[in-house]
């Protein structure tokens, strides 16, 4: 039996959620204090020490005295004097160092461009560049044929180079919260791409048809942009499991949306939808559908009564007062920051919703009004 969850005031729900988190943290703090004062904490310390000593090969005679555990740190310090153990730790450190040398990380507003030395590290498998003032990705990225993850969120990037299509082994591309207005058609050549995140760029209106070639993609996030419809290329991504196209300018959904027969999660909130097509009922794996219900005048009954176990969440957003400022850039930054916060909140809310195993098959509509 399907069920419908209706929320009439998003800001109220957020307030309730934050109160619930605070209470939970307070309970955890008190429980931690209680445990620290109890014998259980002492036992936990002893067992932790025993496990650590066993892992390091320290004999029982070193940490047991008359049947009681000696929790002093000197027992662990002696392990460093054991040549064999020292060799094992050195080997472990060497493995970690070997793994990390394939990962490039860069963060901080002091960076306005990528370092020149990067072009010589073509063996890298992952780039993690976040929260910088970097505006462009150089063409020499084509040399990084082993690149698997390209994580470039929260920078100032205004376009992607066409050379990105040369990354045949790329699996994850995250260019969220940048200044992109379009995506190069060559991205469709990244045939092994599995996750595409273009959220929070605020200006993207469409995706090139060439992205239809991305048959391995399972997650697409284009939220917080200016799409007027679901791109045709997305409808041809046959393995797509999660589509987030919330906070755009959608007025309707394509009648053939059911061609996405592997889709499990569809996030449509903060759009301008007035109706939902019946084709949604024909999507066998769709388990979570989130929309903004303010403008909806027609919802197929079968969506709420579906036998597929679909969770249908209709968010009723409160009117938001718009403040007009002369500084346009300040407005854009404010919108982006707000969108980031809302995105994190929705992610937590949806994860919680997914984890609920038993939800009523009906919901009583209750209008909540609260002055915050």
pLDDT in tens, 93-138: 555 665 678 999 999 999 999 999 999 999 999 999 999 999 999 9
User: 0.75 exceeded by the pTM?
Assistant: no
pLDDT at 27: 84
Angstrom distance (rounded) from CA 149 to CA 153: 12
pLDDT at 322: 37
- Closest to 223 (Cα-Cα) out of 167, 290, 155: 290
pLDDT at 13: 64
Sign of CA pseudo-dihedral 246, 238, 257, 360: negative
State how far the alpha carbon of 125 is from the alpha carbons of 120, 164, 195, 214, in Å: 13, 14, 16, 20
Where do the DSSP E strands lie in the chain? 3-7, 64-65, 68-69, 103-107, 126-130, 149-151, 172-174, 195-197, 219-221, 242-244, 265-267, 288-292, 311-315
pLDDT at 340: 80
pLDDT at 104: 95
pLDDT at 365: 37
pLDDT at 66: 64
- Closest to 137 (Cα-Cα) out of 208, 187, 196: 187
Q: Are 168 and 144 in contact (CB under 8 A)?
A: no
> Does residue 243 sit in helix, strand or coil?
strand
Angstrom distance (rounded) from CA 172 to CA 161: 16
Q: Are 246 and 226 in contact (CB under 8 A)?
A: no
pLDDT at 59: 73
Rg of the Cα atoms in the chain:
26
Residue spans per domain, the chain = 13-69, 98-315
pLDDT at 372: 34
Angstrom distance (rounded) from CA 135 to CA 129: 12
pLDDT at 95: 57
Give me the residues of the chain with pLDDT under 50, please. Answer: 1, 79-80, 318-326, 328, 358-372
**Position of tokens 């046959």?**
238
Spatial CB neighbours of 180, under 8 Å, sequence gap ≥ 6: 157, 158, 159, 160, 198, 201, 203, 204
pLDDT at 199: 96
pLDDT at 367: 38
Q: Topology of 98-315 in CATH? A: 3.80.10
Instruction: Find the angle CA(14)-CA(18)-CA(20) to the nearest 5 degrees.
Output: 115
Mean pLDDT over each residue of the chain, to the nearest integer: 81
């Amino acid at each position: 039996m399907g069920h419908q969850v209706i929320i009439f005031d998003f800001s109220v729900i957020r307030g309730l959620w934050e109160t619930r988190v605070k209470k939970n943290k307070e309970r955890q703090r008190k429980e931690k204090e209680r445990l620290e004062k109890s014998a259980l904490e002492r036992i936990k310390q002893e067992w932790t020490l025993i496990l650590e000593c066993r892992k390091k090969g320290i004999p029982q005679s070193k940490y047991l005295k008359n049947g009681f555990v000696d929790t002093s740190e000197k027992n662990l310090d002696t392990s460093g004097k054991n040549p064999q153990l020292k060799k094992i730790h050195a080997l472990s450190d060497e493995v970690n160092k070997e793994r990390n040398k394939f990962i490039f990380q860069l963060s901080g507003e002091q960076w306005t461009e990528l370092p020149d030395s990067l072009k010589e590290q073509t063996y890298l498998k992952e780039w993690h560049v976040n929260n910088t003032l970097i505006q462009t990705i150089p063409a020499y990225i084509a040399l990084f044929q082993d690149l698997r993850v390209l994580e470039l969120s929260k920078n100032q990037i205004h376009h992607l180079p066409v050379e990105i299509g040369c990354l045949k082994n790329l699996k994850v591309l995250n260019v969220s919260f940048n200044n992109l207005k379009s995506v190069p058609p060559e991205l469709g050549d990244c045939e092994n791409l599995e996750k595409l995140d273009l959220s929070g760029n605020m200006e993207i209106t469409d995706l090139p048809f060439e992205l239809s070639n991305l048959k391995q993609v399972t997650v697409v996030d284009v939220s917080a942009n200016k799409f007027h419809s679901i791109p045709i290329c997305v409808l041809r991504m046959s393995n797509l499991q999660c589509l987030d196209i919330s906070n755009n300018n959608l007025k309707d959904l394509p009648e053939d949306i059911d061609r996405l027969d592997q889709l499990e999660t569809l996030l449509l909130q903060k759009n301008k939808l007035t109706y939902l097509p019946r084709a949604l009922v024909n999507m066998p794996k769709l388990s979570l559908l989130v929309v903004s219900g303010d403008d909806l005048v027609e919802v197929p009954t079968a969506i709420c009564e579906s036998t597929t176990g679909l969770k249908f969440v209709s968010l009723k957003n409160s009117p938001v007062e718009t403040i007009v400022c002369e500084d346009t850039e300040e407005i854009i930054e404010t919108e982006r920051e707000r969108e980031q916060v809302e995105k994190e909140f929705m992610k937590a809310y949806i994860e919680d919703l997914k984890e609920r195993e038993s939800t009523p098959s009906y919901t009583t509509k209750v209008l909540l009004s609260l002055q915050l």
